[in-house]
A = this chain, B = another copy of it.
Amino acid sequence: MEINYPNGKPYTQKPQPQNTRQKSQNYSNRGMTLEEDLNQSNHYYVTNSIAVIHKKPTPVQIVNVDYPRRSAAVIKEAYFKQASTTDYNGVYRSRYIDFEAKETRNKTSFPLSNFHEHQINHMKQVKAQGGICFVILRFSATDEIYLLESEHLFKAWDDMLQGERKSIPKKDIEQHGHLIPISFRPRIDYIKIIDKIYFNRHSSL
């Protein structure tokens, strides 16, 4: 009988390595990345008609493609391009949703080097157009995930350009952001936070 993880991935029992120290089974080494958890959450939202939010494909500059007879085209040479927007967007209750997700091993602050200037510009444009825009920040050491509305990121970013610190102190994120509890389905229920902030709804999805 085939057993799958809740995210649909096949379960395969890996042999335990003999000579490594037994690691504690916390989030950071259970092999699920922030991206995978968000994909699982977005999949949950779309299949339950809660929201339609997708991760954009990785932007690639294609240089050379081979078209072999009777089989699929093979890209033989391509390069990663820097994204000009954020990674995630979609729709929830008619509103446009746009966000970026990043994680850090730092314990006391979130480095702004995780973001690029054009991403910040994109988020400012989205905000100006009335979109709902935020970042999802994960502190991997403590496995804490926060939703931080984009204006707080803009503030820290603009301060940095004025010569101030190159990271957001964790205490500021705790104060202005919203802790997202990790659950089973969806893993990262950020829509519940969106409900509270933007729709004044205290749902129990």
Residues of A within 8 A of B (CB): 46, 49, 51-52, 54, 56-60, 62, 72-81, 84-85, 89-98, 122, 125-126, 128-131
Whether the pair B93, A128 counts as a contact (CB closer than 8 A) is no
Interface centre among A46, A49, A81, A129 (most CB of B within 10 A): A129
Whether the pair A130, B91 counts as a contact (CB closer than 8 A) is yes
In the complex this chain forms, how many copies of it are found? 2
Among residues of B, the one whose C-beta sits closest to the C-beta of A73 is: B80
Q: Which residues of the other chain, B, contact A85 by a CB distance below 8 angstroms?
A: 54
Whether the pair B80, A78 counts as a contact (CB closer than 8 A) is no
Pick the contact of A94 from B72, B73, B130 — CB < 8 Å?
B130
Whether the pair B73, A62 counts as a contact (CB closer than 8 A) is no
Pick the contact of A129 from B80, B81, B89, B93 — CB < 8 Å?
B93
Whether the pair A57, B60 counts as a contact (CB closer than 8 A) is yes
Q: Which residues of the other chain, B, contact A79 by a CB distance below 8 angstroms?
A: 72-75
- Known interface pairs A76-B77, A85-B54. Does A94 touch B60 (Cβ–Cβ under 8 Å)? no
Docked Cα-Cα span, A72 to B60, in Å, equals 13
Docked Cα-Cα span, A129 to B92, in Å, equals 6
Whether the pair A95, B94 counts as a contact (CB closer than 8 A) is yes
Interface centre among A51, A78, A80 (most CB of B within 10 A): A78
Q: Which residues of the other chain, B, contact A60 by a CB distance below 8 angstroms?
A: 57-58, 60, 62, 75, 78
8 interchain pairs (CB within 8 A)? A49-B125, A52-B131, A57-B81, A72-B80, A90-B96, A91-B126, A95-B95, A96-B97
Nearest CB of chain B from residue A170's CB, rounded to whole Å: 30
11 A-B pairs besides A52-B129, A91-B98 with CB distance below 8 A are A51-B129, A52-B126, A60-B60, A60-B78, A72-B80, A75-B78, A78-B78, A89-B89, A92-B129, A94-B96, A96-B97
